[in-house]
Amino acid sequence: MAEAGQNRGPVRDAGVLPVPANPPSAARRRVRAAAEAWHWSSEFRDGAFVRRVLIVLALGALAALAWRLSDVLLLAFGAVVVAVILRALADVIAQAIPSTKRWSLAIAVLVIVILVALVSGLFGQQMRAQIAQLGSVLPPAVSYVLGEFGVNVNDLSRQLPNMLGSGLPRELLGRAAAFGLTVVGALADLLVVIVAGIFLAADPDLYKRGLVKLFPLSQHSRAEGALDASGTALRLWLKGQLMAMAIVGALTGTALWLIGLPSPLALGLIAGLGEFIPFLGPLLAALPALIIAGSQSSELFLWTLGAFVVIQQVESNMIAPLVQRETVSLPPALSLLSVLAFGVVFGPVGLVLAVPLTVVAFVLVKKLYVRETLGEDTPVPGEETAREEAQAEAAPASRSS
């Protein structure tokens, strides 16, 4: 009995550690280790899942914020376009007159201001007279064209008193006020874009370094190379586009002057500005001239239509190939679809900035995705020029050292 009682529990003598009655076997230890491993792995899986969910939510919130600030981001890109133009002119000045980047930029801004003042002084009065003439000629021309389609403007004027009593004036005044606020807002946005563009052009490396630091350290070289290539491609595209705009504007003004259409200088300026938006811009720019010509005679309308068709053919088959040898060319279908897409999504501002945005996206996709992710060998617009410019900038520094 004493021995049985002693076997029921551990020995509790002083200085002796307690020993469990049924020590765990090797199988129990393995089961316990497996349970503990499963417990920790399940906690790890839960933590990884929660982390992925938080990352997805953060990306969704970032996308929603970007969409909310899309107008501001478009203005920022417009400032980048202005900075690229100013920086390109400043580089030309720096090559002609040895100076620092800031002084060359100041000279470039001063040159642009002087050119605008000279154009306003030399052609401003004539331009204002022609725009005023265009404003006096265009409404009767529109009335004539509407009459050809069976819309009688006189009937509309006789119905105007009835419309005035129907509360329409209040609605018209509201729309006029909204239009006025839109114009004021557009002018304010243009001023912000110009000022921000000057600041960006003053020290582009500062903002480029800040943008590169948003990426992991291992991706800094890739991000910097992509930014350099896209900036160079954008500058080359703008160079070619400005050349095409100047040539088309000069050809249009000369052709309309030879035809005898009123206000050829103003209509040529409209045609040159419309060339900035591919496909849709030239069509919209031709409408005022065609309306005025159609209101005078069918022969003048045909001459004007033929002039625009010939100029566009010359631009497509002669000017564009010559310009694209030194600049960046996009696939025509891509340009057209980008204009339509950005115009529908972002409105008039997106319509104006559609092609430069597409140029940057085109370069980034080809460099970062097609070449470096998929491994396909594809040329990247602007990359070779950016490399040559970097080597040219590094050569004087190496000689001086």
Would you state the pLDDT for residue 251? 92
The pLDDT score that the predictor gives to residue 17 is 46
Taking the C-alpha atoms of residue 344 and residue 351, their distance in angstroms, rounded to an integer, is 8
Per-residue pLDDT reduced to its tens digit, 24-53: 566 666 666 666 655 555 555 556 666 777
Which is more confident, 252 or 262? 252
Other C-beta atoms closer than 10 Å to the C-beta of 227 total 20
pLDDT at 2: 44
pLDDT tens-digit map of 348-379: 888 888 888 888 888 888 888 888 888 888 88
Residues 266-305: tens digit of each pLDDT: 888 888 888 888 778 888 888 888 888 877 788 888 999 9
Report H helices in 149-263: 153-158, 160-164, 168-202, 204-212, 220-259
C-beta of residue 261 within 8 angstroms of C-beta of residue 267: yes
**Average pLDDT taken over every residue of the chain:** 75
Burial of 37 (0-12, 13-18, 19+ CB in 10 A): exposed
Q: Is the pLDDT of residue 396 over 60?
A: no
pLDDT at 132 (0 to 100): 66
Tell me the per-residue pLDDT of 234-251, one tens digit each, with 9 for 90 and over. 888 888 888 888 899 899
Confidence of residue 13 (pLDDT cuts 50, 70, 90): very low
The pLDDT of residue 112 is above 60? yes
pLDDT at 180: 66
